[in-house]
Structure 1
Amino acid sequence: MSEFEVHDRPPSRQTNDDLPAAMLLAIVCGVGVALLWVVAALMLIALVQGFGNSASPWLLGCLFGVAGGIAGVVGCARGWVWVRWAALLQALVVTVVLCTFVGWMPFVPWVVALFITYAGLQFLPSSHRWYHPVPLWKQQEAAGLDS
């Protein structure tokens, strides 16, 4: 078989043994991000119980962050392309929110650095090859979508 023959399915992804170091670090940072969201949610649960419903929207955002953090870790390991764009968006939003509403308290630079590192690691060239093991034009040729 030549490399240009049409196959029923695209070539398989790399195995987990071929996981680049940048992606491994991104997974570790993703676990840290998910744990950070869990801590924030637990703190807000205590705040909501103590002060009424004033923190409910923030709590909902933190719970959404927990779910997104877990999906991000799984997505990094499985090579889901949308995960890196979600991580980038999350890093931008968290940076803006923390710098706007919390200011430069001692924990803010560390949290911002974690989110930016998590997103940045997923855009390195080795990570790009993890997300896209076969160039798009080769996938289109194999599927017969070449025009």
Structure 2
Amino acid sequence: MKKPLLLFAIKCCVIIYFAACTSIDKLAVSESITPLVTKGTWKVNCFSNINTDNTCDFKDYTFTFNKAGSVTAVKNGVSFTGHWIEDNISKKITIHFKNSNAVLNGLNKYWDITSVTNDGISFEKTSERNTEKFYITAL
């Protein structure tokens, strides 16, 4: 009777040991982009979907992200304020400009964070019919 219980306990320990040493780190929280994106001012280098490149719509816009969750877009001295929030576990960011122009309303989405470097961040939004890409670089 003691032997099967001992074998069961050893098997459980071995399984837990290997699980801890192999893939448990994938459950850890991924690195946040908040420290990077709130560091300075950004511009849009790419905004496109499968059929159309709309990057030129964002010409002359600059973006400043605040740690408290506000984002300001400025074009020709006119400011537009919105909100943003990061979900660093699922690597997503939500941007929302309320009562803004049509160009900024195009950013009102829940974006996947696809790439992060010190100079730029890539976002993507995929739906059944479309994939939108959004890339910002530091000024």
TM more than 0.5? no
Structure with bigger helix share is: 1
Q: TM-score, normalised by structure 2?
A: 0.25
Instruction: Return the structure number with greater strand share.
Output: 2
Larger Rg: 2
TM-score, with normalisation over the residues of structure 1?
Answer: 0.24
Higher relative contact order (CA 8 A, sep 6+): 1
